[in-house]
Amino acid sequence: MKQEGKNAYIELLEYKVEIGPKGWRGAHRGIVTVSYSEIKGVELTPAGLLTFGFLKIIVSEGAVAQGNSTWGRKGDLMSDPFAVAFEKSDKENFNQIRNKLESLVIENKNLKNLIPKSENTTIDLIEKIKGLAA
């Protein structure tokens, strides 16, 4: 699932989300990929009549673009590598992306909880190899 915004695109892949540059507003960006297990939340700021809305991914490291922007928080979000700007006419498409992304994050966390954690250490592995060789 892929959606283009004003400064970037967002694409939901099988195990990760990709955010990449689009147009002159995104010329300073690189491609950012984040696995669903690293995502702590998704924030959707609605677009206004004269302002862009933003879909922002909150990652575990808490990366947030900060600066002395004359445009305030929305100006900072325009340069945030984890945020995608959109127009009011794209509101429904970005709502769908947010809902799908939230469900993929929850699904990933549920799968992570089902996988038993291994208590193996290097010493345990050496002992198991010795036991197999005997």
Per-residue confidence (pLDDT) for residue 12, from 0 to 100: 93
> Is residue 80 a contact partner of residue 25, using CB atoms and an 8 Å limit?
no
Q: Span 116-128, mean pLDDT?
A: 59
- Look at residue 122 and tell me whether its pLDDT is greater than 70: no
Structural domain boundaries, residue 122? 2-133
Residues 17-69 have pLDDT tens digits of: 999 888 767 667 788 899 998 898 899 999 988 889 999 999 866 545 444 44
Q: HSE of 57 in the Cβ direction (CA atoms, 13 Å)?
A: 28
Q: How many domains, in total, are found in the chain?
A: 1
Closest CA to 34 of 6, 12, 4, 64: 12
CATH of the domain at 91: 2.30.29
